[in-house]
Structure 1
């Protein structure tokens, strides 16, 4: 690049305020000048004349710099941030109705506030973090994911409700941590334009097997759905193999059901007909339905009914019972708006890696959110599915914060991808 081109580029970028955008504009301008100069040289002009004419065709450096400053600047999705703040604050409500007597004065309210502050800090940090740097950190993240896999499958030091946990220095590594790490790791590898379908499958199989060993059926379901959607959109030409694979999995699950133990079959029957099993597995369904009905439109004022896991899996029931279907319905609407907004923004992202991140994030969020609402309203079997933004816990908070922070990071830099970088997937 000659001194004249460098001078022109520096003058253009001097009008661009954002450091990230400045670098992007300089690279893009250099690329276009190089391509235009090459075309003019092929047309018969000397290298010096071709370069001068290419610069002239680009126009005034001042005007171009001002236009680039308007076009290429960090974007902040204030609408999404507003919805995240609102639904996160709604997550405080369940902790206000936890019985201190039943939960040993654990002060979940104070802890929830701490988690909210931590979650907000992580979300903001990831928003300012350049998501493209994840590529250079892929092996660090892979090593961390491997550590989680080994810790949960080979060295669990706590067993709770049959599921394995790894606890050290007050921190808990569980299935939620594993799903977050596994999805993030796969997203990074799938974001590579040279990613191969048959190389991704073994990674998926190993991590899925680890979740099955823990064991945590809820985590297996969430992880499987998320990865399936990622593979479906990432490898369009391999969709028939995905369909055949899940057909085989469905047949295998059918065989598993035929060999299920009586108590396992009872849980399935209780979901279909809870009245028949009202004294055993069906009680939870009937009790939850009763609490939702008692809540009415505006909640049971001074309600004293006890709710199982009121601040975690049944947080939606807690909100609806105490504050009514007005609050519960508002929570559902905001959750749906978050999903729709994330999906709509995929089309505005030019970077395939950024698209993969949003697809993975919205699938992870939607699967958990919709399933939790579905099981609380009696549409789906009750499992240990937490409600994003609402359910209490450090690991759910970390997962949601990282997911939303990465979305905001991608959106912030949606105009920072050169056109020559687009279309890496078209060859797949």
Structure 2
């Protein structure tokens, strides 16, 4: 590369901070200059004259740099960003609906702020870099899981947890670690199917050991959602899909066993009876205290949607579902527009997790699915409904922000 061409390219990319965009633009310009240079040499010009003319033909480097910076500027999907903010705001309704839950509001504010920080931070991070942290994330998740099992400070719904001031960490808080680590493992083509199966089985068996069916279900859905879109040998993919499906069957069988054997029948009948009474007597619009007709357990967590309908009316409940399904629909809209295999794995796994939570929670409310304790994303109280889904949406937004860069590089 002669000095004339070098100065031109350095001036063009001077104001572009992103190394990946800078590299892509320089590759694109180099290709175009070489093509024009060869054309001028063919027409009879010397190599040096052809080079200078090819570079000069590109135009003013400062102006060109500004145009290319604007063209390749990372973008934010504002649909997801706005829907996320709406979902987080709606998450306060179940607490504000009942006086006895007002004490949870400060904690909810903390969880919401943490969720926003997580999402905002992940948007700025290059999602492809998370592959480097696959081992740290996996080992960190296992350490936290074992620590919770061996050194709990309290038990919530019969499962170990650790309390640090206003924050409570439980078994489900380890799920994001495995979500990130498995993304990296699936990207690593050096790993064979047996090793990947073992990495799935270790946390799954620990969850089964303490009887946390919900964590087992999340593990299975994460694996299935990612494997479907992962680029790997067909036989390897089949093995892993069988492993994920087996985990799903075992998880559901463990919960359905309580219904087949008749355990918790009275409790379940009571819960569904009260929910049915609430939904039957609910009005379209908010009716105040007089609208409360039945006591619903877990009113601010698992059945937060029922509380919203009971206290604020069917319109508020339907609007809540529209916002959540809007997030899901937007992720599905983005998915086919992403060509990066890693980006597809992330979005595929994220869609599976979000869809599982929404549909299963709705199924519990309507009495179609067994009571497992699946929370409603961003709406139910607790750190997990916000943190896990904040990570999912943050990574999806990171993929969307850089999809044009990946597509442009792929076209070279």
Q: TM-score, normalised by structure 2?
A: 0.84
Shift of 1:221: 1.0
**In structure 2, what is the Cα distance between the partners aligned to 1:344 and 1:252?**
32
What's the counterpart of residue 209 of structure 2? 213
Are the equivalent residues in 1 in contact too, given 2:230–2:341 (CA < 8 A)? no
Q: Deviations over 1:41-80 (max 9, x none)?
A: 9999897678557646756535642431232002122221
Q: How does 1:165-176 map to 2 (within 5 A)?
A: 165-167=161-163, 171-176=167-172
Question: Structure 1 residues 134 and 123, CA, compared in 2 at 3 Å: closer, same or farther?
Answer: same
Within the candidate set 261, 265, 276, 1:265 is matched to 261
1:403 aligned onto 2:399: no
**In structure 2, what is the Cα distance between the partners aligned to 1:172 and 1:191?**
33
What's the counterpart of residue 426 of structure 1? none
Q: Deviations over 1:182-204 (max 9, x none)?
A: 11111222244666444322211
Q: Deviations over 1:170-219 (max 9, x none)?
A: 64332221111111111222244666444322211212112212321012
What's the counterpart of residue 307 of structure 2? 318
**In structure 2, what is the Cα distance between the partners aligned to 1:257 and 1:94?**
27
What's the counterpart of residue 81 of structure 2? 81
Q: How many equivalent pairs are there?
A: 404
Shift of 1:390: 0.4
Question: Structure 1 residues 92 and 250, CA, compared in 2 at 3 Å: closer, same or farther?
Answer: closer
- Further displaced range: 167-176 or 343-352: 167-176
1:71 aligned onto 2:60: no
- Further displaced range: 113-122 or 285-294: 113-122
Are the equivalent residues in 1 in contact too, given 2:302–2:380 (CA < 8 A)? yes
Within the candidate set 286, 294, 305, 2:281 is matched to 294
What's the counterpart of residue 372 of structure 2? 383
**In structure 2, what is the Cα distance between the partners aligned to 1:24 and 1:247?**
38
1:161 aligned onto 2:150: no
Are the equivalent residues in 2 in contact too, given 1:315–1:387 (CA < 8 A)? yes
SS of the residue 1:307 aligns to: coil
1:26 aligned onto 2:13: no
Q: Which has the higher helix share?
A: 2
What's the counterpart of residue 359 of structure 1? 348
Question: Structure 1 residues 299 and 25, CA, compared in 2 at 3 Å: closer, same or farther?
Answer: closer
Shift of 1:31: 2.8
Q: Deviations over 1:337-391 (max 9, x none)?
A: 1101011112222332222222222221221122111111222222211111101
What's the counterpart of residue 127 of structure 1? 123
What's the counterpart of residue 13 of structure 1? 13
Are the equivalent residues in 1 in contact too, given 2:308–2:316 (CA < 8 A)? yes
What's the counterpart of residue 274 of structure 1? none
Q: How does 1:224-303 map to 2 (within 5 A)?
A: 224-235=220-231, 237-238=234-235, 239-242=237-240, 244-245=242-243, 260=257, 265-266=261-262, 279-302=266-289, 303=291
**In structure 2, what is the Cα distance between the partners aligned to 1:399 and 1:240?**
27
**In structure 1, what is the Cα distance between the partners aligned to 2:104 and 2:141?**
29
**In structure 2, what is the Cα distance between the partners aligned to 1:69 and 1:325?**
47
**In structure 2, what is the Cα distance between the partners aligned to 1:265 and 1:235?**
42
Shift of 1:300: 4.3
**In structure 1, what is the Cα distance between the partners aligned to 2:353 and 2:249?**
25
SS of the residue 2:369 aligns to: coil
**In structure 2, what is the Cα distance between the partners aligned to 1:422 and 1:192?**
24
Shift of 1:89: 0.8
Question: Structure 1 residues 12 and 126, CA, compared in 2 at 3 Å: closer, same or farther?
Answer: same
Gap regions ≥5 residues in structure 1: 271-276, 424-428
Are the equivalent residues in 2 in contact too, given 1:148–1:173 (CA < 8 A)? no
**In structure 1, what is the Cα distance between the partners aligned to 2:370 and 2:162?**
28
SS of the residue 1:164 aligns to: strand
Within the candidate set 331, 350, 361, 2:320 is matched to 331
**In structure 1, what is the Cα distance between the partners aligned to 2:358 and 2:99?**
25
Q: TM-score, normalised by structure 1?
A: 0.81
